[in-house]
């Protein structure tokens, strides 16, 4: 039994791989035992044109946990702000029309899109987040991006959406999706690590973040000040205290303090031109 278990837990063997190592009689006999072992870990899903299953054995669950731990480390880094900003832009570009499951369910009812309605059950099932994402990516219908958005939004993980949409999965006719899921986990883990390396080497987050994302990172700065900065951070452009006063409708001293705060944070450079000071974005 230990040998049979290894063909699932150490490496997820296929019947074809067994044929390469054993003769057909032995391979077929072993395959029956392997299938019986895996049946105890099978989780079935029937919202595709045909039923599929994933074997949630020890190896698969451990790799799921490790991938989700990498995911959580990513969310706890400063990269989360940058990713959230990109996610906001992505949502705008995708024109996602439905803010919750109920709205999408109602729309699918009207359109008679029963296959999408079946996939909506994924959003309420008690399964790991990455397994939910994998099954959505395995589907092939109009509202895939919408379901990914709802899955991420449900767990307040919108910052991961841009990465998820870069993952491409091969569509196979196999009922056992376990090997595909393991490939997905490896690809996802690689994408997360690359994103973390990229963010760790970036010192220009303030040039990319939205006002909302900056507000999460710098709660002591007013949204009014952050909105001014986001709208006035073009390279080779000069900004003045008078501009701040006009845009934000504040007095001179308030505007001056805000602009000087950006200089102190090294977001702006400052120089004197004639009788007044001008502020401009720091070159990266």
As a whole number, mean pLDDT of residues 210-235 equals: 85
pLDDT at 125 over 80: no
Residues 6+ apart with CB under 8 A from 106: none
pLDDT at 201 over 50: no
- SS3 label, residue 54: strand
Q: How far apart are CA 125 and CA 257, in angstroms?
A: 51
DSSP 283: P
What pLDDT does 31 receive?
A: 95
pLDDT at 94 over 50: no
What pLDDT does 142 receive?
A: 61
What pLDDT does 198 receive?
A: 60
Tokens representing 28? 């077929």
Domain-wise residue ranges, the chain: 58-201, 211-281
Please name the residue that has the structure tokens 């999460």: 216
As a whole number, mean pLDDT of residues 134-146 equals: 72
State the pLDDT confidence band at 221, using cuts at 50, 70 and 90.
confident
Tokens representing 217? 């990172």
As a whole number, mean pLDDT of residues 159-171 equals: 71
> How far is residue 238 CA from its own chain's centroid?
36
Please state, in angstroms and as integers, the Cα–Cα distance from residue 135 to each residue in 148, 187, 188, following that order.
Answer: 10, 15, 14
pLDDT at 91 over 70: no
Looking at the chain, the whole-number percentage of residues with pLDDT higher than 70 is 69
What pLDDT does 118 receive?
A: 57
DSSP 123: G
CATH class of 211-281: mainly alpha
Q: pLDDT for 42-65, tens place per residue?
A: 998 876 566 789 999 999 999 999
pLDDT at 241 over 90: yes
Q: pLDDT for 170-180, tens place per residue?
A: 667 788 999 99
Q: How many CB atoms lie within 10 A of CB 218?
A: 16
Q: Return the H-helix or E-strand segment holding 269.
A: strand 268-273
């Amino acid at each position: 039994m230990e040998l049979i278990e290894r063909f699932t837990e150490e490496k997820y063997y296929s019947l074809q791989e067994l044929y390469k190592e054993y003769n057909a009689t032995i391979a077929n006999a072993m395959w029956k035992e392997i299938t019986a072992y895996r049946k105890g870990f099978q989780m079935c899903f029937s919202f595709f044109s045909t039923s599929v299953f994933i074997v949630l054995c020890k190896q698969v669950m451990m790799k799921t946990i490790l991938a989700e731990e990498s995911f959580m480390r990513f969310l706890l880094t400063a990269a989360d702000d940058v990713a959230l900003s990109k996610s906001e832009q992505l949502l705008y570009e995708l024109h996602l029309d439905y803010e919750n499951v109920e709205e999408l369910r109602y729309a699918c009812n009207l359109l008679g899109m029963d296959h999408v309605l079946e996939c909506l059950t994924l959003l309420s099932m008690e399964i790991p987040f990455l397994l939910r994402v994998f099954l959505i990516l395995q589907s092939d219908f109009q509202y895939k991006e919408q379901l990914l958005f709802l899955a991420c939004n449900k767990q307040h993980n919108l910052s991961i959406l841009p990465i998820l949409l870069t993952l491409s999965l091969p569509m196979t006719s196999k009922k056992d999706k376990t090997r595909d899921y393991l490939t997905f986990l490896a690809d996802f883990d690689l994408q997360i690590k690359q994103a973390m390396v990229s963010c760790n080497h970036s010192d220009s987050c303030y040039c990319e973040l939205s006002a909302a994302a900056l507000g999460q990172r710098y709660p002591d700065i007013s949204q009014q000040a952050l909105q001014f900065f986001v709208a006035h951070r073009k390279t080779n452009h000069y900004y003045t205290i008078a501009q701040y006063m006009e845009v934000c409708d504040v007095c001179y001293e308030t505007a001056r303090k805000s602009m000087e705060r950006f200089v102190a944070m090294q977001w702006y450079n400052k120089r004197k031109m004639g009788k007044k000071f001008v502020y401009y974005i720091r070159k990266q």
